[in-house]
Amino acid sequence: MLFKRELKRNLKSFLIISLVCSALAMYVIALAPSFGDDIQKILDLKLPQGMQKAFGMKDLDYKSAVSFFAIMFSYIYLFYAIYLAATFAHIVSKEYSDKTAEYLYSLPAKRLHFIFVKLSVVFMYALLSVLLIFLVSWFSFGVFIKSGYDLTPVVLMAVAWLLGGMVFGSVGFLVSSFFSRTRISSAVSVGFVLFMYMFQVVISLNDNISVLKHFSPFDWFKGSGIANNGSLSLTYCLAAIGFSAICFYVGIWRFRKMDVLV
């Protein structure tokens, strides 16, 4: 019953993020055959080298359709991170904000069960949204590029979106355990995502503080690095998984102890 209710409640946001990001992916892949190397000249005119580096557009071979697709990586990453941060921030805290937590916890099931059911819905939608974006991208490569492309970097980009998005989603969930009002927790969580995005831009523009990139999830996964190397950093992947696990664990612990009348 609760699982179906949460599926329906979060369906709209899932469809919006999936369709928007899928449309962006299809759009940029459709443009690839038309622009080719010309896109580098356009970028050089419009963006300084530092900004190109910040957005993961530097040192890409635009003769490759996959490299051209990497232009859109950071934008999809940003939108996806905002979606997960906002969704995880309200998935449990909404019951406290709406004063329905007391009723749920009075049902014949443990509090931990309700928390896990709610989280499982967001995890499922998070995975399905990335899968849908990847499938649309794969379809678009087949339609517009047809041949001569390597799908491995695209798969890795999808994995990077999921891992990076979970970092911000876990932060949103943890933040929500400190606030009884959903609007506040969602605003703080989305604000954190935007701050970290701007943070990685600042890091890219200033070599003197480049060491700080190790603390920026947006620097852990770059479309240009994935397209050029065809791999993800194992260190950053483990960091993303470990950090997310800690935030979810602490958030769950706090919700288990939280007063339903808060």
Model confidence at 262: pLDDT above 50: no
| Residue 135 confidence (pLDDT) | 96
Give percent above pLDDT 70 in the chain: 82
Residues 6+ apart with CB under 8 A from 141: 29, 65, 69, 149, 151, 154
| Residue 6 confidence (pLDDT) | 80
Average pLDDT, whole number, for the chain?
Answer: 84
Average pLDDT over residues 175-198: 89
Mean pLDDT lowest among 27-31, 67-71, 109-113, 172-176? 109-113
Model confidence at 36: pLDDT above 50: yes
Say if residues 20 and 90 touch (Cβ distance below 8 Å): no
Q: What is the DSSP string of 106-164?
A: HSSS-HHHHHHHHHHHHHHHHHHHHHHHHHHHHHHIIIII-SS--SHHHHHHHHHHHHH
| Residue 96 confidence (pLDDT) | 60
- Helix, strand, coil proportions of the chain in percent (round to 5)? 80, 0, 20
